[in-house]
Structure 1
Amino acid sequence: MISDDTPRGATVWLTGLPSSGKTTIAAAVATRLRERGQRAEILDGDDLRRTVSAGLGFSRADRDENVRRIGALAASLARDGAIVLVAVIAPYAAARAKVRDLHAASGIAYLEVYVATPLDVCARRDAKGLYQRHAGGEFVGLTGVDDPYEAPTTPDLRLDTHDDPVEISAKAVDQLLGAVSESRQF
């Protein structure tokens, strides 16, 4: 049980296609929070694939396990008072729902943010060269291309990053956090 004097954090789960802008938005939000003296932690899916989820592949079961591990880590950090910004594809709705349920059971705020960048815009950005490598036949199973991405149907916030600069998106996430913090202590 969390005592009244324990700071409460929250998890902001940014989900979207590869190269949609999740990590860029998370970094911009973290900067805003830190400038106000708040503890902000970024959990980036690519970084965690090399550490916490090293050894997992890209089957549905492995992707679900990756999301479960990241969700548990986010909940732990948020329980300790951090605002946790998770930037991860998390392609399956059921896995994201389990993370939400984990947070709810622990009394931790969980905000799902759908970074709704169209596939053609993501492919043009191609920050990591995934779309190019996929088109060249180097691998199969690219989320949103030949592996499913189940877009959130009722996210707490939808960001259309192809129309707005990153600061507009960061401000929207910050405002969402502000609205939630009014009803919670974090």
Structure 2
Amino acid sequence: MKTENTVWHDQHISKQQRATIKGQRPCLLWYTGLSGSGKSTVANAVDAMLFAQGKHTYLLDGDNVRHGLNGDLSFSDEDRVENIRRISEVSKLFIDSGLIVSTAFISPFASDRDMARKLLADGEFIEVFIDTPIDVCEQRDPKGLYKKARAGEIKHFTGIDSAYDVPVSPELHIKTAEFSIEECAAQIVAYLQDNNYLG
């Protein structure tokens, strides 16, 4: 529900001006995949590569955002939708500032990812599917979450007792079980370079 008695206030500096001064084309790298797939690890590697090139970036990590902005949300389906709605709106603000933004969230529902895409201009949303088999994710299990989910200690866990809508046509399809983190990150940076996001 939108707040009443508010009016949108136009700013003097445009998104294009902010992007031009940074020498880049703003976009949102939307990393999606199962827990343990490598979303945050790959996103961090890409962010470091772009920073080394002098690009202006910011990374919004799912766990980190739940410590603050979304600390009041659970992992129910309803709260997962609200989690993605909030981060989509925050990402849009960062895009408006001219940044190359990365978000590393499971974001299990295709409808939520589509909603995030529709908030942005054409070409600004880049879906990055971190496609890692669930058995590999369970073997990694860096936070011990699959073990807890299998034991019934965690409810609504994606891939176990909560659905994950596999991306149908992502801009980038990254397989961390077949390539190293550095190789995966290089694939993403190459995509940005080839599609004129890096100036």
Q: Scaled by the length of structure 2, what TM-score is found?
A: 0.86
Equivalent runs, 1:65-104 vs 2, <5 Å:
65-104=82-121
Show CA shifts across 1:47-91 (max 9, x none).
111211111112222101101111111111121111111100000
* Aligned-partner SS, 1:18: coil
Partner letter of residue 90 of structure 2?
L
RMSD: 1.7
Show CA shifts across 1:76-134 (max 9, x none).
11211111111000000000000000012xx6711000000000000011011100111
Q: Among residues 53, 56, 64, which one is paired with 1:47 in the alignment?
A: 64
Shift in alpha-carbon separation, 1:45–1:149, aligned structure 2, 3 A: same
Instruction: Specify the structure having the higher radius of gyration (Cα).
Output: 2
Q: Tell me how far apart the structure 2 counterparts of residues 108 and 157 of structure 1 sit (CA, whole Å).
A: 13
Measured after TM superposition, the shift of residue 162 of structure 1 is 0.5
Task: Name stretches of at least 5 consecutive residues in structure 1 with no aligned partner.
Answer: none
Shift in alpha-carbon separation, 1:76–1:124, aligned structure 2, 3 A: same
Equivalent runs, 1:1-186 vs 2, <5 Å:
2=14, 4-7=16-19, 8-104=25-121, 109-181=124-196
Q: Tell me how far apart the structure 1 counterparts of residues 123 and 89 of structure 2 sit (CA, whole Å).
A: 12
Aligned length: 182
Shift in alpha-carbon separation, 1:67–1:165, aligned structure 2, 3 A: same
Measured after TM superposition, the shift of residue 17 of structure 1 is 0.1
- Percent identity over paired residues: 36
CA contact (8 A) 1:21 1:115 kept: yes
Q: Scaled by the length of structure 1, what TM-score is found?
A: 0.92
Measured after TM superposition, the shift of residue 137 of structure 1 is 2.2
Q: Tell me how far apart the structure 1 counterparts of residues 191 and 41 of structure 2 sit (CA, whole Å).
A: 17
Partner letter of residue 17 of structure 2?
D
